[in-house]
Amino acid sequence: MFEFHDPECRTEDGKPMILSNRYTWSMSDKETRRKHLGAWLAKPFRDSDFGKVRNLLGMPCMLSIIHNVTNDRTYANISSIAKLPKGMTVGELVNEKVFVLP
């Protein structure tokens, strides 16, 4: 799950909106999860890095969101993740950090 700190991305009670994405548990080079993690870290994601995924909890990033319309409903989906540019800051996390294994 990703927490948004843009003032325009707030729920009715003032908390930051969140967006989540489901990934397969595969470690294939072609899997979206591996590509997203590598882009987030700004380096190729190796098999040995999978044990360190928990270290990403709370680490800021930039998301590219695409809105898909299906049957008159609009869904926000993560199309890419990038490392936060140098000098850019984000607010403190509001929601609890949670790591869940399938």
The answer to the question of residue 92 being in a domain is no
Q: What is the pLDDT of residue 74?
A: 95
Looking at residue 48, its amino acid is S
How far apart are alpha carbons 9 and 25 in whole angstroms? 30
Within-domain flag for 93: no
Residue 69: its pLDDT value, please?
95
- Residue 89 falls inside a structural domain: no
In a domain, 96, yes or no: no
Q: What is the 3-state secondary structure (H, E, C) of the chain?
A: CEECCCCCCECCCCCECEECCCCCCCCCCCCHHHHHHHHHHCCCCCHHHHHHHHHHCCCCEEEEEEEEEECCEEEEEEEEEEECCCCCCCCCCCCCCCCCCC
Is there a domain that residue 62 lies in? Answer: yes
Total structural domains in the chain? 1
Q: What is the structure's pLDDT at 102? A: 62
Residues in the chain, pLDDT under 50: none
Please report whether residue 95 resides in a domain.
no
Residue at 97 is within a domain: no
Domain membership of residue 98 (yes or no) is: no
Question: Residue 18 and residue 3: Cα distance in Å, rounded?
Answer: 4
**What pTM does this model have?**
0.76
| Full domain range(s) for residue 57 | 2-83
